[in-house]
Structures are given as structure tokens and as C-alpha cells.
Amino acid sequence: MGFASALGWDNGVVLAPMGADIAGPKLVAAVANAGGLGLLASPVNMYDTTLKVIRDTKKLTSKPFGAGILLEFEQSATTIRAIFDEKLACMQVFWGDYTKEMVDEAHKNGVKILHQVGSVAAAEKAVAAGVDCIIAQGVEAGGHVIGNVSVIALVPRIVDLVGDRNITVVAAGSISDPRGFVAALALGAKGICMGTRFIASKESYANDYYKQQLLHYTEADTDYTDLYSRASWVAPTRVLNTPFHQKWKPVPQDVSNNEDQPIVGYSIIFGGSFIEGAEKIIKELGGRSQVKPVKAVVLLKSTEGVSGTIYFTQEGDAPTKVTGTVTGLKPGLHGFHIHALGDTTNGCMSTGPHFNPAGKDHGAPSDETRHAGDLGNLVVGADGKVDLNISDKQIPLTGPNSIIGRAVVVHADPDDLGKGGHELSKTTGNAGARIACGVIGLQAT
């Protein structure tokens, strides 16, 4: 079962509910509007404030979104009540048990439960409680980390535990780009939960200068510590190993009050004012690298003398651009499609039907009703050559409907775009034989 079918959102990207307003209304709404699941960072024990944050978010999006709750704090009960009263789509719970009775109450209020765990034992409790989703957090994750197992070891174990139950498994921890998403899917997850990567977005509440510096640090520049939560909440945290952190790391383990903790770090990262010396410190703060455009390539093969190389490029959630050159075709129109299978063991015939995840009838690229793989016709000149320049939003290179691993097929005849009245018009466009094809693979960068 896919992420969308289980939870009702367009794709499997979840925004982690990062505290102190980083995951505030603007960022949550932006993620929701882009088809992901945004989770608000809920204030603790502040019913009215929680209502305001939720309602501010609703002004910015009509899409479903949720909020995160820390079970460590008993005062969270008033915040949970606000979430129920506002009928949010879901609630993420973290750092503690959420019983079947609690899950049942949430369901009665129309709220689905996403439980973030760091171990198989905790996942077993979540399954028994009847949660809707389990977020498997690996020890690589940024921020507060509840377990000590890597995401690559934890996710398959939890996927096997869930089995065929109607519970979605989402992977979390050191995932920041399409390759990480694909890796999570290979482990059996149906989606990913990201935090750090979203801090650098324009909608987050973090300082702009911090966002820029966030791009300079790598996975080797973090530290796993309890330094920032010894007094109020014993929670290990993965942080950036900046000069600021190195300065405070030798603080004695017996810190017993918030005044003795290096809370200045939070003042800098979150949207507060700079303090003296903060500029020097903040220049050393950082995180993951920017997500680069995703690129794919196809090398056409044919027994009919057709050849060509086709390139696919997608930046973020923008339409995918298709470029390249095909030669050896007869002048005129030739159907051009993405087919469902990347299997050419029996030539082009084993590539299956058109790629059609929505189960619609065949149509033109501009039609609302069409197969995702319907790219219309190649218009070939007298020299038998065509240069491609296509932009299409239904053939993404990332996400659950990615075309990576599928096939491009060129046909002998024109595609009637579903309007020819032939018995094959609504399935293949009556485009004739498959004369060239190739598998879509990730391009070397």
C-alpha cells in the first residue's frame, strides 16, 4: 500500500515538526501545498497558542496537515485537545508510549496517529495500539534522537513487523535528497520524514544567514550529545560540531538547571535576535548540502535503424524537461510514450503498457484525462531526425510515481491522442508497432 492510499496525501514526504516555530505555519503550508505532509511544532501546554498556530496555517493552505507532540511532557494534554478540536488530519507523537485508548480517542476525533520510534520494541507497542503510521527514526537523525540503531537496519525490521497491516512505515534520519528517498523505498518504507533539509527553505523561521551556512556542513560534521537537554529533558541530540559546540562540550555532566546550559545556541538558530559575538558563531553553523536537479538518460535501441539519446531533468517539484535527439525515423508523426516497465528482455514488447498510475484513458499531453506516460508525437523532418524539447509535470523523477526504471518507446505510426475512434484509441492511441525503446536510468553527474 502506498503512502497516498494509506494516509491520503500526494506523496511520501513528511516535514518533521521542528521546534521554536521553524516548522511554523509558513513552512507547514508550503510543504502541504507542494503535496507533502507538513507537521507543526506544537507549543507545550498552550491551548490558545496552539489554536492560533493551527488557524494561521489553515489560512495558507487547504491541504491536510498535522502537528507533533512530545509525550515526555504531561502538559501536552492541553495541546492535544487543541489539535482534536481543530480536527487536524494527523498528529505525530514522539518520545513515549501512546496507548490503544489514546489512539482510539484520536480516531474518534478524526485524527490519524503517526508514532515516531527508534526501536523495534517501541514499534511493537505502536502496532498493538493501532497507529496509522510508524516513523522509524535512525540514530543518524538530526535533533532529538530516541534510538541507537541506524535507519538502514531499523526500517526493514519495522516493515517486516508491520507486514500486511494497514500501517504506513516512514523512514527518518540523514535523508536529504532523491537518492535517500529511493534508498528508503528500497528498504520497504513508503515515505520519508525530513527536518534539517527544510530548515534551509525560505519559509522556515530560522535566520537567513544560518540557512546559508547550513549548506556548508556535511554528514561528518555532527556530534551526538546530551549537552543541550540535561536539565529539563534527558534527550540525546545530534548537533553540528561547530566551534560553539566544541566550547561548551566540556561542561560537567551534573548540570542541574537551565541557567547553566548553553541555550544561546537555540537563540541563534531560531528566529530571535543576535547576541554579542553571535555572528562569529553562526558562521560555523551548518547542515546538509542543497538538493541538486535530478537527471536521467535513455539510450534508444532498435531493430529498425532508429537511434538516439534522450535526457530527463527535474529541479525540485518543477515539471520534468525532456531533451535529446532521435534519428533514423521516417518523416511524419510517431507516437512517443513512457511505458510502465523497464524490461527489454523481449525487445520493446516487454516494456508493458503506458505508464498510467492514475488508471485513466489515453489522451494528449495537454489533456486533463491522459496516461502519465502520454507524451504525444515526435514530429520528424525529411532528414529523419527530431530534436526533443518537452516539459511535462506528470513524469517526475522522484517520489512514488517516478519514471526512473521505466521505459521510453517510439512507435511506427502517429498517436491519435485518444480521439481517433479506433478500438485502441483509448489505450494506445493506435500508434502502431514499437520500433525503438530504452530504459530510463539515473544519469552520472
**Are the CB atoms for 429 and 335 separated by under 8 Å?**
yes
Q: Rounded to an integer, what distance in angstroms lies between the CA atom of residue 206 and that of residue 26?
A: 12
Q: What share of the chain is helix, strand, coil (3-state, %, to 5)?
A: 25, 25, 50
Of 197, 334, 362, 370, which one is the catalytic site residue?
A: 362
DSSP letters, 316-363, are TTSPEEEEEEEESPPSEEEEEEEES----EEEEGGG-SB--TT-PPP-
Nine cell digits for residue 53: 498556530
How do beta strands 90-94 and 112-117 pair? parallel
Q: Identify the active-site residue in 334, 339, 370, 406.
A: 339
Among the listed residues 144, 334, 371, 406, the single catalytic one is 371
Among residues 192, 193, 181, which one has the least CA distance to residue 404?
181
Distances (CA, A) of 59 to 7, 14, 16, 56: 22, 20, 21, 5
- Whether 362 is a known active-site residue: answer yes
Asked if 89 and 31 count as a contact pair (C-beta separation under 8 A), the reply is: no
Q: How large is the angle between the packed helices 25-33 and 47-58, nearest 10 degrees?
A: 40
Note the residue count of the chain: 445
Question: How far apart, in whole angstroms, are the C-alpha atoms of residue 230 and residue 274?
Answer: 24
434 assigned to active site? yes
Quote the CA–CA distance of 14 and 92 in Å, as a whole number. Answer: 11
Active site residue 354: yes
**Cα 165 from Cα 155, distance rounded (Å):** 15
Eight-state DSSP code of residue 30: H
Out of 392, 406, 411, 415, pick the active-site residue: 411
CB 354 within 8 A of CB 428: yes
Active-site hit among 144, 337, 370, 406: 337
Would you tell me how many other CB atoms lie within 10 Å of the CB of residue 105? Answer: 14
In order, the DSSP letters of 87-108 are: T-SEEEEESS---HHHHHHHHH
Alpha helices (H) in 59-191, listed in sequence order: 76-85, 100-108, 120-129, 151-162, 178-186
Q: At CA 19, angle to CA 14 and CA 22, rounded to 5?
A: 70
Contact 72, 96 (CB under 8 A): yes
**E strand or H helix at 212:** helix 208-213
Annotated catalytic residue within 144, 354, 370, 406: 354
C-alpha–C-alpha distance, residues 209 and 187, integer Å: 36
Active site residue 334: no
Active-site positions read 337, 339, 354, 362, 371, 374, 411, 434
